[in-house]
Amino acid sequence: MGRKKLVNHRKLMKAIPDSHGVVSIIAKRLGVEWHTANNAIKNDPIAMQALQDEAEKIADVAETVILNALMQEDVRVAQWFLERKGTFRGFNPTIDIKNTSDTSITMNFIDKEGDAFDAKKED
C-alpha cells in the first residue's frame, strides 16, 4: 500500500481557481487522486469556501444563459423556468400519460389549499 500524498494549503488554494467547483479538476492539478483532493478540501474550511465560491460562479453562468434565452423569448426555456420557478404563481409541470392497455387510470389532483380538483364541477 502506497503512502498517502499530503496536500498543503497553498497548493490547494492555487488549484481551485477556474476549476468550476469540480474536484477532479483540482485533483489533476495537484497530481493526486480525487478522494485525496476531496479530503483536503473538506478538512480546510478556507478551501471549502473557495470551492463553494467556484461552484457559485458556474451557477451564475448557467443562470445567465437561462436569462438570455428568456430575453430572446425562447418558449421551451420559459416553460422549463415556469415549471420550476413559477409554481408560486400556479404554474405546474405537465404530465404526459400513455396508457397502452385497456385498464383505466384515475388521477386525483389537489390544489394549493388542499382541495380536490373536480373537472366536472362548474364555476
Long-range (24+ apart) CB contacts under 8 A made by 63-67 are: none
- Is residue 69, in this structure, part of any structural domain at all? yes
Look at residue 73 in the predicted model and tell me its pLDDT: 93
Long-range (24+ apart) CB contacts under 8 A made by 14-20 are: 16/47, 16/50, 16/51, 16/54, 17/50, 17/54, 18/54, 19/51, 19/54, 20/54, 20/55, 20/57, 20/58
Query: Per residue in 71-97, pLDDT tens?
Result: 999 998 988 888 888 877 777 766 667
In this prediction, the residues of the chain whose per-residue pLDDT falls under 50 are: 1, 121-123
- Is residue 107, in this structure, part of any structural domain at all? no
Look at residue 51 in the predicted model and tell me its pLDDT: 97
Look at residue 95 in the predicted model and tell me its pLDDT: 64
- Is residue 101, in this structure, part of any structural domain at all? no
Domain residues for 55? Answer: 9-89
Look at residue 80 in the predicted model and tell me its pLDDT: 85
Domains: count for the chain: 1
CB 101: neighbour CB atoms within 10 A? Answer: 6
- Which residues on adjacent β-strands are paired with residue 116? 110
pTM: 0.61
Q: What cell numbers appear for 30 in the block?
A: 495537484
